[in-house]
Structure 1
């Protein structure tokens, strides 16, 4: 690690190298909290910032609000000095500020940077020379240089001279037992070489492999490419599923057969739509920015259209299946299995299961759900159901006119579901074909 020439950044680099720096994490959600805990694990003091007082209180009382993070892990981090606050006046206490806040879309499916901007503007009055600012929130290429840098300059903070500014995209994969925060290589780009050097010095304390790139723009584009790659391939396999269904072909059988090819093919699985905070949203950040350069990203947008359509496809399959059994969807009792956006986690952000529930209810169905990871329907900006997770005893299973497998948690007993259900619409290919099963 090269030593910085300016006194302010040289002092910061020395604090980082000797593990005396304090790290501030802004946004204690599915990205920020694991990162905070990882820094604490290696002996670095962390101060967490969040506007949600419920999260702040939970951290400071040793409780966890994310299923995969044990309360004992929070308690251990507290012993290392980790605590949380909603007071941005404490920004002056930290040496590195890492922003991990949401970057959603607005109602026009355009980027909404309000969480990033409000966080930076709340922190700015309390920032000082000799601090590092790192943005991890996924965004369009140019955000770090066009949105963050001018705000720092307005306060006399000059990246590369008396402060450092980098972009280093988050790469969390909730529920993945093989890759935690420390194991996933960290891409990073700095406004200047000095900024990059300071940023690498900080992150390499907690993360095993660093992947430096030439600029924040390159790092921002890297994150978008990763998620667009998945969005496009999922869109492809979802379209293939629709075609295969019309032809009476089991798409899962086809994917399994194609996956035996030892080269040139990567198996992607179809489903009821995209979920999570990244893949359903990130492609639109690039398509929006590309228009500034006169580029029409038709391929990316087409994949988004296909994936966005899938919940409606599922509801259509439910309607057809009920009709085949002589039942209208209006008044039918339907149990949606799995509320999380993918299996074995409690994260319901952008979950297609929720949209499926909303569409079914709008057509007059009586809706319920069962999810071992989500005991009560969570607070959401666009949806509200006063529901709790249903038990899956034989009598309760049999009481529903139709079961919709939206998320294929391993905890579900699929043989029991098949035995006692009147009708199943399976969007994940978990149950073998039978007379009361419909693939969707």
Structure 2
């Protein structure tokens, strides 16, 4: 086979199969570092083997076998150290049993391992992106707006904590699930957002991560059918992903919501999402994922962008900001205020957010500010904000959109 074709096949297998191969290898390796090393070696070996033998019909199975063999060989070579390896798979006599076997998803087991309460929330998120998504340390650092060395240390500490605490590699028993639910939902949502708007690279989205997150959310809903926040998360992702085919034009240009052809949205997925939204909002005060799914439903059900119920959205964002006081939520609320009350009313909200250090490297803030300034005919200030956003943006599709906006105002990037 041609080298380029094999290289593309390996890259595609990395995007689609990384989490599944790693999760299966952890069962044999019983150590996250060893499992990750074996999986990386398997991908390297695939380049040579597939050049000679051709790409297998099931690349994921090939990679899993290759990685597991490496893990077994490592154990044979270091048998005297085996007792020092963390027992992620084999429970002690005091460990409670796994959750029912009808939920046998190894990736979900890996997520629950990463979301153990012994780990700090930031460590949970970081190690999940590294192990479940296969993102590089640099990509994770970019998503968290921290330096690469800081993120590398965070991931290393999380792995050491898992080893030192002998955190088991399993879905915990049902009675322990609620204590980890928020962390698991958070990391699944982060997997989705990383795929829905890729922070780096030539493409706007990574369908493999989007589909992985939706699969995990469906599994969680099956595991915990009465958890409204799990329903809300799945609804949120389905409603956003229903627009996938319309987010980029045939020419590769980013299409804003008002430009998208609503007749091409996935109606079956929307119906499924709306049903889940209704369930998530029943019975008591809604959580942050239920509220986000309700916001997505308002956008989805509007006949046109201009016909969106901006007042209802503002009310929902007020509730969400109270439930989840995040600067990103405040930014999205400000955009809605601009639509309901005009850009002049929203601009002070964005100016205040510019003082928040958590948004210092977040390109959507200067991009939103540039749009408001453009609508207020403050072109020189808008151009400066567009340039700032372009500098911070590492996604090629989004950067091209921002550059086109800058050119449209009469300036050059």
Decide: shared fold, TM above 0.5: no
* Structure 1 or 2: more helix by fraction: 2
Question: What's the TM-score, normalizing by structure 2?
Answer: 0.28
The structure that has the greater radius of gyration is: 1
